[in-house]
Homo-oligomer: A and B are copies of this chain.
Amino acid sequence: MISHKIVPNVSVDCVIFGFDFEKLNVLLVDRELKDERTGKVLISDHTLTGYHIYDDEDLDTAAYRILKELTGLDNLFLEQFAAFGQLDRVSSEKDQLWLKHINKGFADRIITVGYLALIDNTQVTLKLSEKNVQWYPVNEVKNMEMAFDHKYIFYKALEALQKKVKVEPIAFELLPDYFTLSQLQKLYEALLGASFDKRNFRKKISQMHYVIPLKKKQKGVPHKPAQYYLFSREVYEKTKKNRISFIV
Contacts and interface: CB of A to CB of B under 8 A. Distances in A.
A65 interface: no
Contact of A166 (B108, B165, B208, B246): B246
Contact of A243 (B113, B166, B243, B245): B166
A83 interface: yes
Contacts of A113: 83, 85, 111
A244 B113 CA distance: 28
Interface string A15-38: 000000000000000000000000
Contacts of A87: 56-58
Interface in A54-93: 55-59, 80, 82-87
A137 interface: no
Contacts of A245: 166
Given A55-B109, A59-B111, A85 B247 contact: no
A38 to B, nearest CB: 37
A38 B162 CA distance: 58
Nearest to A89: B58
A34 to B, nearest CB: 32
Given A58-B86, A87-B57, A166 B109 contact: no
A87 B85 CA distance: 21
30 contacts: A8-B8, A9-B9, A10-B111, A53-B85, A53-B111, A55-B108, A55-B109, A57-B87, A58-B86, A59-B86, A80-B83, A83-B83, A83-B113, A85-B113, A111-B111, A111-B113, A166-B243, A166-B245, A166-B246, A166-B247, A166-B248, A167-B167, A167-B246, A167-B247, A167-B248, A188-B246, A192-B244, A192-B246, A193-B244, A194-B244
Given A83-B113, A167-B167, 9 more contacts: A7-B111, A8-B9, A10-B111, A53-B111, A58-B87, A59-B111, A80-B83, A83-B83, A194-B244
